[in-house]
Amino acid sequence: MKKVKDLRWKKRISVNELVEGLGNVGFQSSEMKKAVDVILKMKKSGAKVFFTYTSNMVTSGLRGFFAQLIELGMIDVIVTTVGGIEEDIMKSKGEDFVIGNFKPNDIELYEKGVNRVGNLFIRNESYLKFEDTIGKMLSVLYSKKPRWTPSDMIYEIGLILDDKSSILYQASKKKVPIFCPGITDGALGFHLFMLQQKHNDFVIDVVKDFSKILFSTSHDDKKGLISLGGSISKHHAILACLLNGGLDYAVYMTTAHSSSGSMSGATTEEAKSWGKVKDDSDVATVIGDVTFTFPLIMMKVLETLDNEGLLK
């Protein structure tokens, strides 16, 4: 049985050494090290890796790191919410988001045309520019054909973008499908609605996309999930894997707790009662803000794989 060991600083300590040391501290630090081990097993076993995240992750500076993980071949299938699509496009077009604070005068921000996501500020002008950009993109897509699945539409948009820090760009380049089951739940959804008012043969086929994510894997595949946050993006990937025999590996990272009964707070252990995660699978649930837990975990994973000559 592993014993608790005191963490100590030393000069020029690496991320690898830091996370290794945190693994002996206890509480969520130890669970974080466990998540590293599960992801390493996931990759070394050749499992198909599903990666899910909510849009606030893209609002933050994690966006470029996600794009890098795709570029490095760490991810096979992505599921996200529509804000994660919108804000990736916005940043690809040069829009900057600002770090403010968690307790501003929100009425004053509204009067200034500033929207707040936690301590991050987004100007109304950014959305206005996005609406102009996406309107033109959708017109080009409609000229090619009237019926699209969300994943095919997102793939085509990724081909248009020219930004190495873009999730959509890297996913299209690497042919990693991005699924967005809640495609209408945002500004993009409004523009899809407006295009359909102009062209009643324009259709976004979410059912066809459900078929595509189901057939992106099989009962014979080893399947792994890295889920950041919760909501529809988390469950959509889990459901696809459940219908294909369940997950062999799962890492959940969230600030939610299981006591709420929510999908966001549901643990990997709870998932076993549904068959979403196999009863003998390797799992970890890390409770904490992914803006620091996820980079620490994944940089340790990347360094380990690189040292072993396993990083593409």
**Among candidate residues 93, 106, 202, the one with its CA nearest the CA of residue 145:** 202
Which residue in the block uniquely carries the two structure tokens 């054909």? 145
Closest CA to 211 of 175, 235, 233, 179: 179
Phi-psi region of 113 (alpha: psi -120 to 50; beta: other; left: phi over 0): left
Strand-pair partners of 117: 120
The strand pair at 114-117 and 203-204 is best described as unpaired
Residues recognised as catalytic: 276
Q: Report how far apart, in Å, the C-alpha atoms of 299 and of each of 19, 187, 204, 271 are.
A: 9, 33, 37, 27
Residue type, 7: L
Give the span between the Cα atoms of 147 and 162, in whole angstroms: 25
Distance separating alpha carbons of residues 79 and 151, to the nearest angstrom = 10
Question: Do β-strands 247-254 and 114-117 pair in parallel, antiparallel, or remain unpaired?
Answer: unpaired
Length of the chain: 312
Of 221, 277, 270, 255, the residue nearest 77 (C-alpha): 221
Residues in a beta bridge with 253: 228, 286
